[in-house]
Structure 1
Amino acid sequence: MEVTAVDVHLVPSDAALSGYGLNGYLVVRVHTDAGVVGVGEAGTWAYLEPTATAVETFGRYLVGEDPLRRAHHLDYCYRNAHFRGGVLRGALSALDVALHDIAGKHHGLPVYDLLGGRVRDRVRVYVHAFGETVDDLAGECAAAVDDGFTAVGHLSPLLDEPRDEPYDETHAARQARAEARVERFRDAVGTDADLLLELHRRLDPKEAVPLCRRLERFDPLFYEDPVRPDDLDATARVARATSVPVATGERLTHPAEFGALLRRDAAEYLRPNLGLVGGFTGARTVAALAEARYAAVVPHNPLGPVMTAAVLQFAAGTPNVPLVEYPYRPRLGAAPRADLLVDGFDREGGHLLVPEGPGLGITLDESVLEQPYEPRAIETRLGADGSVVDQ
């Protein structure tokens, strides 16, 4: 069996369902001379156009190659030159997912059987809470519990306000308001749901440590991305100073970076994105590193249904995955671009059932791939003084 073609599609998002700034999805198809087609998705949602170009570059190499040599192709392409980064890894990750889909279809097995076999029948998920006010977020939390979910994430104590509004808040006000908001979130769900607090890299250690200590009494499952990912030692400083487990990793692109996190005891929950860390091949390495240190893996997935299918297969075949991210909006009752699949995902309460068909177990509605896509604008939030603010 040989690869005959690789095509890439930029699919527009649903305006009402997508998160802030996420305006599309990158879907890859890898075709073979046996008629088997694999699909994958990249995780570089902010930079889809350059990632699409990288997919085309690596696709030229793949044509004529055996699609079953998945790990070799990832290594061959990544180590071809000394360049690194999210665009390259995003492209290779999408292709790795597609090659696993081909392998499963070729052997008549779901991907989880290629990873060692099924370790769970269904996968616990956490859903998204979006809103510009505390009332919006508390409402999403309550709606999630009413809908049977047992975990709510993407839950920012600092709010996700419009990026065109200058940020202006004193240290004391930010700390007190964040604490009051989390109290509202906890009151909305009681102990029926876990809270996964998302800081979006908006703090420095000197700000993150006192805030996390204030939030300990609400018993969050974890405290995600309190600081920017560039300095792993800074994340470790926060982790050492609080009893709340730290989660991080959505911006990391290689398993070695996760190994460095673990050596520093910087996180108890690792957040690899299968569309960024090297697909199934890279994520399995991350999971093995984590399992050896009793750390958990919670895949990052604010993406489309192709990636959700990949995440479910990964969780089904990986022991140390207690739950996964599912970009479902409780108050809207839907996940983004569900129409990309002919059949959706079955759910029982707070769990998604794992598709049992070969490969990823999904079928694309290919007409959706042809919808017009508009590039994402670069819009970074600024403070009241005009300097850059992370959000």
Structure 2
Amino acid sequence: MTDVRPLLLDRYLLVEVRTDTGLTGLGESGAWGFLEASAGAVEALGRYLVGKDPLLIEHHWQYMYRSSHFGGSAVMGALSAIDIALWDIKGQHYQAPVYDLLGGKVRSKARAYGHVFGSTRQELVDGVIAAKAAGFTAVGHLTPFLDEPFSEPYFETHAQKVEGAIDAVRQYREAVGDSVDLCIEIHRRLTPTEAVQVALGIEQYHPMFIEDPVLPDNADEMAYVADKINIPIATGERLTSIWEFDMLLRRDAVQYVRPDVCLVGGITGAKKVAALAEARHVGVIPHNPLSPVSTAACLQIAASVPNFVLQEYPLGEDEFPKKDIVERAYGYDGAGFLTIPDVPGIGVTLREGAVEAAPPKPWEIQTRLHVDGSVIDQ
């Protein structure tokens, strides 16, 4: 390796790893709100990697992870981005898609769910209908709550909060019938007791899963909820190691693991999470709110993991800035699936002029307050 370079583009942090053979690998960090910190970690890890053989991926993973045992999203996002880029290089070196190096394809396409957003209930209902019209057989990032402006102080009675969420899911189900799976996104907005009440109320509408019903800080709280409801729980997007996933799995606290390939240790880490889940017949739904680099890396997992279930597919990959950042070999087929490309590496390349086309947009620290002035989770 001759160079490891962080690239802050729009709201994303990509990483380029270059070699003396002319091969260049591309990866992405999932640190999300703290990309500048993750970029600093990329530079530090890059100083170790320059001059090393890029094909020794597992060795480098272990060296970077165990050299200090300081983790967290900024560091693990950096390690993940580098890992993805190294797999990209290895695939190009052997002239094979990365999934071929992971054991080969177990499926030829990946079922996907589309994102649904809206600031009003009607916009969300219309979004579910539009996703169905676009061919999706599952819709996600679908909240039973409204994502109101952070500047607006929050207040609802307990009854309004619970009954409003239940009625929202009713409207989504009635809008599309049983031909679309509903992936209900709570976004960590409920306490354990609230989560149980909401889940029991929406059970009759048969959501495919309820995602992140409570904060990810305590595996025992997730287990408490899982033990009392009859809807599968999907969680794990904020976790940064296989050991955190193991704590959830050993507690039967998750039925669909949601590893973020750009945060959990790259393709190397996500493949290990999938294996842990497979041993318990738990499905894999990779988390993916980022750029097409993340999608391309996720598809290597989708192609090679037997217990893959569904792929999150963010909106806007045919729009600025995503289409101006990378050239991609995969696509949406219009019938609910993503194609799995057969090109070497992960199947994306950085477009010429991408850095100039998509200048960085720093994350602003903000959150919402209750009417009493305290912080709430939204």
The two structures have a TM-score, normalised by structure 2, of 0.97
Q: Deviation string for 1:326-383 (max 9, x for gaps)?
A: 1026xx9869612322346332210010111000122221312233213111011111
Contact 1:327 1:335 (8 Å CA) reproduced? no
Q: Structure 1: which 5+ residue stretches go unaligned?
A: 13-23
- Could you say what secondary structure the match of 2:371 adopts? coil
Residues 19-73 of structure 1, C-alpha deviation per residue, up to 9 Å, x if partnerless?
A: xxxxx00010000000000000011111110000100000111000010111111
List aligned pairs for 1:259-278, cutoff 5 A: 259-278=246-265
CA–CA distance in structure 1, aligned partners of residues 185 and 350 of structure 2: 31
Aligned mates of 2:320, 2:145 — CA distance in 1: 24
3-state SS of 1:60 partner? helix
CA 1:335–1:149: 2 relative to 1, 3 Å: farther
Q: Look up the match of 1:11.
A: 9
Which residue of structure 1 lines up, in the alignment, with residue 48 of structure 2? 61
Shift of 1:131: 1.1
Q: Secondary structure at the match of 2:12?
A: strand
The offset of 1:222, in angstroms, is 0.3
User: Which residue in the other structure is 1:380 paired with?
Assistant: 367
Please tell me whether the aligned partners of residues 9 and 361 of structure 2 are also in contact (alpha carbons under 8 angstroms).
no
State the distance in 1 between where 2:344 and 2:69 align: 36
- Equivalent in the alignment of 2:351: 365
Q: Once the 2 structures are TM-superposed, how far is the Cα of residue 159 of structure 1 from its aligned partner?
A: 1.9
Q: 1:205 to 1:355 in 2, by over 3 A?
A: same
Matched ranges for 1:213-224 at <5 A: 213-224=200-211
**Which whole-Å deviations, capped at 9, do the CAs of 1:294-335 have from their partners, x for residues lacking one?**
000100000000000111111001111111101026xx9869
How many residues align? The count is 376
- RMSD over aligned CA atoms reads 1.4
Query: Is the counterpart of residue 97 in structure 1 residue 95 in structure 2?
Result: no
CA distance in 2, matches of 1:217, 1:336: 40
Report the more deviating stretch, 348-357 or 93-102.
348-357
On the 8 A contact 1:205/1:235 being kept in 2, the answer is yes
Whole-Å Cα distance in 2 between the matches of residues 182 and 204 of structure 1? 19
Cα distance change, pair 126–72 in 1 and its aligned pair in 2 (3 A): same
**315, 326, 340: which one aligns with 1:354:** 340
The answer on 1:280 being equivalent to 2:247 is: no
Residue identity (%): 53
Mean Cα deviation higher: 116-125 or 162-171: 162-171
1:80-131 CA-partner distances (Å, limit 9, x unpaired):
1131211110000000000000000000000100111001000000111111
Q: Map 1:94-243; keep pairs closer than 5 Å.
A: 94-243=81-230
State the partner residue of 1:339. 324
1:325 aligns to what SS in structure 2? strand
Paired with 2:374 and 2:323, the residues of 1 have a C-alpha distance of 38
Q: Is the 8 A contact 1:340 1:365 kept in 2?
A: yes
Q: Is the 8 A contact 1:355 1:362 kept in 2?
A: no
Alignment-derived partner of residue 69 in structure 2: 82
5+ long unaligned stretches in structure 2: none
The verdict on how the C-alpha distance between 1:40 and 1:162 changes in structure 2, with shifts beyond 3 A counting, is: same
Q: 1:333 to 1:78 in 2, by over 3 A?
A: closer
- Does the residue aligned with 1:58 lie in a helix, a strand or coil? helix
- For 2:286, what is the secondary structure of its paired residue? coil
Check whether the contact 1:304–1:336 (CA below 8 A) recurs between aligned residues: no
Instruction: Read off the aligned partner of 2:64 and give its amino acid letter.
Output: C
User: Equivalent residue of 2:178, what SS?
Assistant: coil
- Residue 255 to residue 31, structure 1, CA distance change in 2 (3 Å): same
Deviation at 1:191, TM superposition (A): 1.1
**Retained in 1: the 8 A contact 2:84–2:267?**
yes
Write the letter of the residue equivalent to 1:215.
I
Q: Is the 8 A contact 1:338 1:344 kept in 2?
A: no
Q: TM-score, normalised by structure 1?
A: 0.94
Q: Which amino acid is 1:347 matched to?
A: Y
